[in-house]
């Protein structure tokens, strides 16, 4: 896999982005900060109330000692377990506003130049799909599904293998990640991209997107 920085692509024609499909790592390439805790806290408070939010806050020190994958599984369990699927409106109403504020300028600029957009997130699809499709016009959202029993979220996600797109679908994509967020591991789908685009300034705050 060949890597280029965005600044390099601005001055050299290594890749013509307007004719390519870009696969964005949401937490490691699109958002300014890689931490997903604030978004799960919002789900816990808005969907489950004060005590669920307090419980998530109490386990936060433990999350910092665990792997990223295990931390997300625990946050999903605390935030979603017992919530009714049909009544879950946080992902459609509240979360998009907060996610929009977290979009980095450089990632947004790269996204605007692409022909087709694919976003891969470590968060459950229910948390990010509405925001990515309606606000950023992303065509494909890849995220793990939440398991449901009798209309209620169980707090478990589908296995990791079911959350990534098929290998043959990602071949030829340009993977968009951040060179700044080295503390998080890139999703496996990006290892199949022929080219990766490393964003170096995703912490710039303004995107110019309507709120």
Q: How many CA atoms lie within 13 A of 46 on its CB side?
A: 17
Instruction: Tell me the mean pLDDT in the region 98-112.
Output: 87
What confidence score (pLDDT) does residue 42 get? 95
pTM above 0.75, yes or no: yes
- The mean predicted confidence, pLDDT, of the chain is 79
In angstroms, the Cα distances linking 50 to 124, 135, 167 are: 22, 29, 42
Which domains occur in the chain, in start order? Answer: 2-199 (3.40.50)
pLDDT tens-digit readout, 122-172: 899 999 999 999 999 999 888 889 999 999 999 999 875 545 554 445 445
């Amino acid at each position: 896999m060949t890597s280029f920085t965005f600044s390099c692509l601005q001055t050299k024609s290594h890749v013509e982005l307007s004719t390519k499909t870009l696969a964005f790592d949401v937490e490691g390439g699109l958002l300014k900060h890689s931490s997903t805790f604030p978004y799960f806290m919002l789900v816990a408070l808005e969907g489950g109330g004060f005590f669920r939010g307090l419980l998530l806050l109490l386990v936060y020190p433990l999350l910092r000692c665990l792997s990223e994958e295990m931390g997300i599984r625990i946050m999903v369990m605390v935030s979603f377990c017992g919530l009714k699927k049909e009544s879950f409106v946080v992902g459609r109403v509240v979360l998009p506003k907060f996610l929009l504020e977290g979009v980095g300028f450089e990632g947004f600029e790269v996204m605007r130049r692409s022909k087709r957009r694919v976003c891969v997130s470590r968060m459950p699809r229910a948390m990010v799909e509405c925001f990515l499709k309606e606000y950023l016009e992303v065509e494909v959202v890849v995220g793990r599904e939440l398991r449901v029993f009798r209309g209620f979220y169980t707090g478990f996600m589908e296995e990791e293998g079911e959350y990534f797109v098929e290998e043959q679908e990602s071949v030829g994509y340009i993977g968009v990640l951040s060179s700044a967020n080295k503390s998080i591991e890139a999703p496996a789908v990006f290892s199949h991209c022929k080219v990766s685009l490393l964003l170096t300034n995703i912490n710039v705050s303004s995107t110019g997107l309507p709120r």
